[in-house]
Structure 1
C-alpha cells in the first residue's frame, strides 16, 4: 500500500498522484499547527508496517516548510513506515552550488544532506542543475528527476501558432533546445548580463529573422520575473509580437506577475509544480511515472 501524505498546500498534487496509482494508493493529510512562538506541532496518520509513506511537498518556500517536513518524515519512520519517500515537484536550494565569496554557505550541499538524512527516495521535476550535473553529486538518497519538456512541448504545439522558442539566458538553453526540437521550432538562446539581483540586460541578435512568429520565452524558473521582463521589452523594441512566457516552476516572487504584465507579456503559463493555477500545465502523470519507477525498481542509482 502506498499512502500519499500531503503537507499543507499540497493536497491537489497528492490527489492527482493517488489517482494515477489507482486502488493501490490513498491520501492522508499532514496536520501542521503553528504555535504563537513560531514552533510547529506536526501530526501524521500512523502508517501500517508494510506501507510506503510518500510525503508530497513542493519546496517553493523552503525556510517555512522544511522543519515541519523533516518532522513528518522522522515521525513516519519512527512509527514504522517501510520507506519514506519525498515527492518535491519543485526542489529548493539548488542555485547556491558553490562558494561565490568567502564565508558563504554552499546551501545546495547543506540542504541535500538534510533531506538525504530523513528520506529514502526523492522524486522531483527539473531541478536547477548547473554546475551540479546530477542530483547524486549532492544527494545520497535514491532519486528520479522528471523532465517537463514533453508536456511543455505538447502545450506549445497545441496553443501557439508559429512559435519561436527563446531561452532568456544560457542556463535556460537545455529546456529551450529540447522543447524546440520536439516541435520543430526555431530556437535562440539569448545573452544576459546581470548587474545585481534585479538588474539585468539582454540581447536578441536573431529577432529580426522571426518577425512573423510568436516569441515563446522558455525557462525552468520564473522567480522575480526581471530577466523575462527585460527580454520582452527588448523584443518589443524590435517590433516583435507579444511574447508568451512558459516555465517549469512558477515561483512568482513579489510583484513578478504584475511586472511581466506591464512589460507586455501576452500570457504566463507554468506547470503545476508550484500552486494550483487552473491553466497550469499538469505534470502529475510524469511525476507518477517517475515515482512508480523508483518504488518498483530497487536498483541503486540516481537519474
Structure 2
C-alpha cells in the first residue's frame, strides 16, 4: 500500500513530485520568461504547471523533465498569443520586464541566449510557435526532434523555424560590443544625461539611435513614441535633465545579463535604464518606467 501511495500521488509521491519540480523550476521559468518577456506572467505559468503536475497521474510519465518542459512551452505559446493581442492596445512602447540576473543567476546559467533586451524585442516579431522553437533550441539546446514533439510539428518544420528566427536575429541586430564596453557606455550615458551635456550625448549615440520609454500610460513624461536620431534624442534628454534627475540615486545591476542602471528616489526604484551598443555607438536606449514591471528589481 505504501508503494502504491507513493506512485499514485500520496504523501510520498507528492514529496518526490515536488523534488522533481524544484529541480526543473529554473528552466521552466527561463522558458516562460523568454517566451513572454514578463517575469510576472512567467511566474504565473510556473505555478500553473506545478498545479497540473500535482494533480496529474505521474505514474504515466516516463520522463518528468520532458513532460514539464512540454507543459510550460505549450502554456507559454497560448499566453504569448493573448499577450500579442493585449500589446496592440498597450499605451506607448512595450519593453520586456527586467529581471535581476545577479540575484537570480539560474535564469542565464545554462545559456544566455534570448535573454538580452535587444533579442527579446526582436523575438516579439516572431509568431509564438517560432519563438518557442528558437528559445528551446538556442537558449536550452533541446534536440530538434524533442522540440518537434513539444510544439507538435515535424522535425523539418522545426529546423526551418529555428533557422528563420536565427537569421532574423543576426540580420536585424548589429554585432554587440563587449560587456565591459557596454558598461562604460552606459555609465558615460548616465553622466551625460544627468548633466544635460548635449555634445557628450551626441558623441555616444549611433546616428540612427532609437530610444524607447515604457511607462505603460502610467508615468508622466514617458514618451509614447520612440525617439529616433542622435541629435534629436540628445536634445530631448537635455530638455528634461533638470527635473528628471532631481533627488535620483543611481545603482548598478545586471538585468537580463547586461549592465543596467537602477534609478531610485527615497530608496524606491522607479526606473531601469540600459543601452544596447555596437561599434557605431549606442543603438538603443531603453527606459523601463512602468511601475508594474519593476517588481523583480530592487536596490
- TM above 0.5: no
Q: Tell which structure's C-alpha radius of gyration is larger.
A: 2
Report 1 or 2 for greater relative contact order, CA contacts < 8 Å, sequence distance ≥ 6: 2
Structure with bigger strand share is 1
Q: Which category of TM-score, normalised to the shorter sequence, fits these structures?
A: under 0.3
The normalised TM-score by structure 1 is 0.27
Structure with bigger helix share is 2
